[in-house]
Structure 1
Amino acid sequence: MTAKGAAAKAKNKRGTTVLVWVIVSLAIGVPCVIGIINGGESTDVPTPTTEQRTATVPLLAAATAGQGICYGWVLHDYSTEISVGSNLGEQVPVRDDPRCPRWIEVSAVVRYTSSSSESRDSASIGVDGSTDIEPADLYPIASGLSRFGLNEDAFVDEPGWAITRAATVLPLLAAEAGLADPVPTGTATPTGTAAPLPDAGNDLLRDRWGWLVAAAVLLLVAALFIAVGVRQRNRQLRGGGPAKRAGAGAAGRTREKA
């Protein structure tokens, strides 16, 4: 091999080495950066929006006027109360209020964890009532929430929507349990137009977008490794062909001289 050929081969080898190290750095660095970003994500549980709260209160007030039972909701982020409301208004609980001797309240505790945690997001849901309401009567109300799609996943995906939606179905479930008559039609019509509650969403991308990006990067890195390998193999084949032919020609000339 000539000095020029050796220099070109060495240059190609150095270029390939640099490319491999760049790919390895991306494969290691990108997931680390994504992990740092995800590690700083907020795990605060969102509260009901103003629209959701203002739409819920008049509906509960109408049910209370027709059934004689106060209805409310309480939402917790772990052990911290972050939202409360009732037929009496926003930020007004029904529990221990002298205006509500008979009441039913839906409560939920939602727990968000970071993407790096092995624990999953979770929610626990309960229904409480005044002392004159038996626990046996509250159980079918709590279990009946799932019929309206208000299960643990709904509370994890959209806590604000789920807690206010659950409060609005309490009067129907209370009537089914025999605690009150169905809400009469046309009683206590709310002032203004109540905005519809939004559909519940999900947090698939919120929890897992970092890992999806990391998987895409790793697939790209694998494709680059394959491309580098094919390129090196082609160069070796192109470089080996002429040398083999030159060697075969020299051997033939040696045999002819002999």
Structure 2
Amino acid sequence: MLFYRAAVDLSRSTLNYVAGLIRRHRKTIKSPWRRLNPGQQALLVLVHLRKGETLTEIAAGFGIGVATAWRYIREAIALLAHRSPRLDQALRAAKRAGYPYLVLDGTLIPIDRVAADRPFCSGKHKQHGMNIQVLATPDGTPLWTSGSLPGSVHDLKAARIWGIPRRLKAAGLITLADKGYVGAGEHVRVPYKGRDKPTSQKSANSAHAKLRSPGERANAQLKTWRILRKLRCCPLLTGQLVKAILVLQLRESR
């Protein structure tokens, strides 16, 4: 195997933040000596998430075994995901910030599955994946991400499973969404459907799209972490992984 120097486009403060979480966790559990110190473990985790390198590649680069690399990554992801905001917390923060509206959008995280795994297949995207719901501010900053559901689950059903319409109503927040959320309730505003719409409805749809489109950048920001371009781990870990990346993305965008 050949080795070469490389870089990862993340800030030193993000590295220090992850290293601090790992250091405190090791102290709490009274962890014995490990091959990598907290800073090295944090760098390993960030490289894996940001660049999407395989466990074999990253383990060789850091001089550890594949199983050890996997344990280090899983440990850090759990620590980060635990700090991801809950839905009620995100809605309270949005209300305090005075946002005129939020943007709700679903995204599919592709997974490495075979054609027989029908529950994971999204008919809309024509590929296997996991459904993640994302709430964002009007400028596209992600506020909250849901757990994961099979890709075959419709966005409206996923939103109801996670209680999004009910909690938006309770918080009194208006949210813009695409036509996949028709029927989500009065606090989730969607475009008009149908052909030969009157001019007023076409104008309303155009304005709706202009307001919603910046908010949909949230999904693109999360997927700058290349690990989300195609997962090769257990699909059930997708939600926790996305929550961990949300915490890192918010740190980077400060």
Please give the TM-score of this superposition, normalised by the length of structure 1: 0.26
Report the structure number with the largest CA radius of gyration: 1
Please give the TM-score of this superposition, normalised by the length of structure 2: 0.26
